[in-house]
Amino acid sequence: MEISAAQVRELRALTGSGMMDCKQALAEAGGDIVEATEILRRKGLAALKKKAARVAKEGVIDTYVHGGGRIGVMVEVNCETDFVARSEDFRTFAHDISLQVAAGNPAYISREDVPDNIVEKELEIYRAAASEEGKSDQILDKIAQGRLEKFFESVCLLEQPFVKNPDITIKDYLGELAAKLGENMGIRRFIRYELGEEI
């Protein structure tokens, strides 16, 4: 199938990927822009796994204050080089993460950061709730696991739908940017303050 320059431009505008990557994805998808976008996203996540072993000690600290000073956020986002840390794409990403933390109020960065005792407690609660709803014993664990996935989505930053584009998660966004900029990247830490909390 012949892929036009206009199709490649459109996909580049949507994804920020390189021209040849866009052309290959479109060829693989038979010219379907939506499918080509998915292909590029999958490749981005695969590239992120390959880069994960490389050290990311450069980066930026970004802050965001929302709601007339009622919520304040500070995040540290890392990459491999100072060159990428100074790029507009990377700084936009760091600020988007600050916005996400303000809006999504996550407790952890990833599901691996959630302590085992909390995971076990949540599973116990979900099993008990499903049992109270009259579900059979054979499916209690399956129901509990499904609800645990929703729990991770609400408390883990990387699992949350991106506030500016709920079709992707923060993990997807990170993967796409890492693939575009060609570096290992990560969200190292964050802190969120809300006026009057714990009073």
Domains and CATH numbers, the chain: 5-51 (1.10.8.10), 58-109+156-194 (3.30.479.20), 115-154 (1.10.286.20)
Q: Please give the order of strands across the beta sheet that includes 58-66.
A: 58-66, 71-79, 186-194
Q: Is the pLDDT of residue 50 over 60?
A: no
Residue 131: predicted pLDDT = 81
Provide the whole-model pTM: 0.70
Residue 43: predicted pLDDT = 73
71-99: buried (b, 16+ CB within 10 Å) or exposed (e) per residue? bbbbbbbbbbbeebbebeebbebbbbbbb
- The tokens describing 39, both together, are 């292909």
Mean pLDDT of the chain: 87
Residue 199: predicted pLDDT = 60
Residue 10: predicted pLDDT = 83
Q: What percent of the chain has pLDDT over 70?
A: 92
Residue 53: predicted pLDDT = 56
Do the Cβ atoms of 167 and 31 come closer than 8 Å?
A: no
pLDDT in tens, 52-99: 556 677 999 999 998 788 999 999 999 999 999 999 999 999 999 999
With cut-offs at 50, 70 and 90, classify the pLDDT of residue 129.
confident
- Using CA atoms, how far apart are residues 80 and 94, in angstroms rounded to an integer? 14
Q: Is the pLDDT of residue 46 over 60?
A: no
Q: Is the pLDDT of residue 167 over 70?
A: yes
